[in-house]
């Protein structure tokens, strides 16, 4: 029998505490009573994702092409553990338990759906017991039931990616070895990892909240519903006829997990690609989010096969402290193989933010804009988001591997530049890049993270 992962908002539409949601809450409560040394405990499961501790910790794969396959396996084993924990709760109907699958939070539907499902907002279970799905360490306005910003939940950019990997990270992240960040060049996050993944982490967690940091993200029970949606969006992308990598390094690299019997299990991408036949689950809804339909249908013209060439960059690092900041730099025309593309008018343009360093994620997501100037219509200038979920890991790696180069984000700005040309807002010799926070940031649980500075080593323009 295949399990079906349901939209948690649809479950809630029928009743405030749907049995599937309540069963999850009760299983979380059981897992929370287990000692952290127990591999099936709530804390251990969250710590797999964390950045401190022994061998079993800090396993998670980010800013690289293992992001989607690793998290799919992580969720799958977690789901087995949750279902098994339900056996310890008499109140859970065995039929509910036997059919139970991890619900997903489909904020991609926008509107109310982009606010937290109600079961995560209330402090008590129906019988008055403490609700383990409620976490104080979130952005206040999110815990008040407000929606995430539309930029944070956007799927358009991701669905414009027609390849899994690529110079700008593609849909699923740039090809790297297993430990990604200690390599030169550093890994590049895929578009889905950047937005909505990273921006939803920050949107829920904010400065100092659980969801903003590697070491605490998995402690917020909504982390798992967020990742179920990211996993679903991967499956949706595949329904559009796009393909996963066929490279053996991606398919066969193994990652270790524990099952509900505490037995060691190994998972690799090749064993998780078809959720129904490999892992026994499907999603209730695999349609493209309405806002991304056009993106998915866009021209699938292949990219030029010569490498992109750097044609301009800042000389100074850029410090981000929670306010709008701009830099300007000069751009030259290509001297390499991209010159022919330029002559033919078929060149692709990329904006790259390199060598991003910081001690912890400030929880702020920045919109990135080209030649914004004083235009009060930001929309045509907008190229995407940067959030710094996972920045702690780049620091950890850097301390043992002096060659580490921090995080890197690359945006395909070809369409934005074409639109700006049409509005007479593009100067091929000079570029202005603006980073502006998506929303006002209020400190959440601790003041520590507020204003945690992020340094962007350089901003550059590439032509291909």
Residues that bind ligand C2O (CB under 6 A): 49, 60, 62, 71, 197, 201, 217, 227
Helices (H), 401-461: 414-422
Task: Tell me the closest approach of the beta carbon of residue 377 to ligand C2O, in angstroms.
Answer: 32
What the block records as the tokens of 329 is 């730099």
Task: Please say which residue, 204 or 431, places its beta carbon nearer to ligand C2O.
Answer: 204
Instruction: Name the residue whose CB lies closest to ligand C2O.
Output: 60
The angle formed by the CA atoms of residues 406, 316 and 333, to the nearest 5 degrees, is 95
Q: How many CB atoms lie within 10 A of CB 123?
A: 9
CA atoms 220, 207, 183, 302: torsion sign: positive
Least distance between ligand C2O and beta carbon 131 (Å): 23
Q: What is the DSSP string of 111-147?
A: GGGGBPPGGGT-SB-TTSSB-TT--SSS-HHHHTTPB
Min separation Cβ 370 and ligand C2O, Å = 28
Nearer to ligand C2O, 169 or 312 (CB): 169
In order of 54, 65, 72, 159, 313, the CA distances from 235 in angstroms are 33, 15, 11, 12, 37
Nearer to ligand C2O, 86 or 222 (CB): 222
Q: Specify the residue, 66 or 350, whose C-beta has the smaller distance to ligand C2O.
A: 66
What b/e string do you get for 1-36 counting C-beta neighbours within 10 Å, with b at 16 or more? eebebbbbbbbbeeeebbbbbbbbbbbbbbbeebee
For ligand C2O, the closer of residues 201 and 360 by Cβ is: 201
CA-to-CA distance for 295 and 359, rounded, in angstroms?
35
Q: Which of 266, 271, 224 is nearest to 244 (CA)?
A: 271
Q: For residues 221 and 28, what is the distance between their CA atoms, to the nearest angstrom?
A: 8
Report the distance separating Cα 29 and Cα 85, nearest Å. Answer: 9
Residue (193 or 441) nearer to ligand C2O, CB:
193
Sign of CA dihedral 439, 443, 445, 449: positive
The distance from CA 145 to its chain's CA centroid, rounded to whole angstroms, is 22
What minimum distance in Å lies between the beta carbon of 254 and ligand C2O? 18
Closest distance of CB 353 from ligand C2O, Å: 20
| Of residues 225 and 320, the one with the C-beta less far from ligand C2O | 225
Task: Work out how close the CB of 180 gets to ligand C2O at its nearest, in angstroms, rounded to a whole number.
Answer: 12
Strands 318-320 and 407-412: unpaired
Would you call 172 exposed, middle or buried from its count of C-beta atoms within 10 A (0-12, 13-18, 19+)?
A: buried
Closest contact distance (angstroms) between CB of 399 and ligand C2O is: 20
CA distance 206 to 200: 10
Nearest approach, Cβ of 104 to ligand C2O (angstroms)? 13
Q: How far is the CB of 227 from ligand C2O (least distance, A)?
A: 6
In this structure, are residues 200 and 139 in contact, taking their beta carbons and an 8 Å threshold? no
Residue 399 CB neighbour total at 10 angstroms: 8
What minimum distance in Å lies between the beta carbon of 340 and ligand C2O? 41
Of residues 138 and 227, the one with the C-beta less far from ligand C2O: 227
Residue pair 354/397 in contact (Cβ under 8 Å)? The answer is: no
Which helix (H) or strand (E) segment holds residue 33: the answer is helix 19-33
Closer to ligand C2O at the Cβ: 162 or 227? 227
- Nearer to ligand C2O by Cβ, of 26 and 49: the residue is 49
Shortest reach from residue 384's CB to ligand C2O, in Å:
18
Query: Which one, 341 or 387, has the nearer CB to ligand C2O?
Result: 387
- To ligand C2O, the closest distance from the beta carbon of 223 in angstroms equals 7
């Amino acid at each position: 029998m295949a399990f079906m992962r349901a939209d948690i908002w649809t479950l809630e539409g029928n009743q405030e505490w749907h049995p599937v949601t309540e069963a999850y809450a009760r299983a979380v409560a059981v897992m929370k009573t287990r000692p952290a040394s127990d591999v099936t405990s709530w804390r251990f499961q969250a710590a797999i994702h964390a950045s401190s501790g022994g061998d079993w910790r800090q396993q998670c794969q980010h800013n690289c092409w293992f992001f989607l396959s690793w998290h799919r396996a992580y969720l799958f084993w977690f789901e087995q553990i949750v279902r098994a924990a339900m056996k310890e709760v008499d109140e859970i109907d065995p039929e509910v338990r036997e059919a139970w699958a991890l619900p997903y939070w489909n904020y991609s539907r926008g509107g109310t759906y982009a606010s937290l499902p109600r079961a995560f907002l209330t402090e008590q279970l129906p019988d008055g017991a403490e609700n383990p799905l409620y976490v104080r360490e979130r952005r206040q306005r999110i815990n008040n039931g407000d929606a995430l910003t539309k930029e944070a939940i956007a799927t358009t950019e991701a669905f414009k990616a027609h390849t899994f990997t690529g110079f700008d990270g593609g849909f699923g992240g740039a090809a790297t070895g297993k430990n990604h960040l200690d390599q030169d060049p550093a890994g590049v996050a895929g578009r889905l990892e950047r937005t909505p993944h990273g921006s939803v982490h920050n949107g829920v967690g904010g400065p100092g909240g659980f969801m903003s940091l590697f070491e605490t993200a998995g402690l917020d029970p909504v982390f798992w519903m967020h990742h179920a949606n990211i996993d679903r969006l991967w499956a949706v992308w595949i329904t559009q006829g796009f393909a996963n990598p066929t490279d053996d390094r991606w398919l066969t690299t193994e990652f270790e997990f524990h099952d509900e019997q505490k037995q060691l299990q190994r998972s690799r991408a090749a064993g998780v690609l078809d959720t129904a036949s490999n892992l026994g689950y499907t999603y209730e809804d695999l349609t493209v989010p309405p806002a991304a339909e056009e993106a998915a249908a866009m021209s699938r013209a292949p990219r030029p096969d010569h490498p992109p060439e750097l044609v301009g960059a800042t000389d100074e690092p850029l410090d981000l402290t929670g306010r709008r900041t701009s830099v300007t730099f000069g751009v030259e025309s290509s001297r390499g193989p991209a010159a022919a593309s330029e002559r033919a008018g078929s060149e692709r343009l990329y904006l790259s933010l390199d060598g991003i360093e910081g001690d912890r994620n400030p929880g702020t997501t920045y919109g990135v804009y080209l030649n914004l100037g004083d235009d009060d219509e930001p929309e045509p200038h907008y190229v995407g988001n940067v959030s710094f979920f996972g920045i702690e890991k780049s620091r950890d790696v850097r301390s043992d591997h002096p060659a580490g180069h921090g995080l890197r984000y690359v945006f395909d700005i070809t369409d934005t530049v074409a639109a700006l040309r049409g509005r007479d807002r593009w100067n091929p010799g000079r570029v202005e890049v603006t980073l502006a926070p998506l929303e006002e940031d209020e400190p959440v649980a601790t003041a520590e993270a507020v204003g945690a500075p992020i340094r962007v080593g350089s901003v550059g323009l590439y032509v291909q």
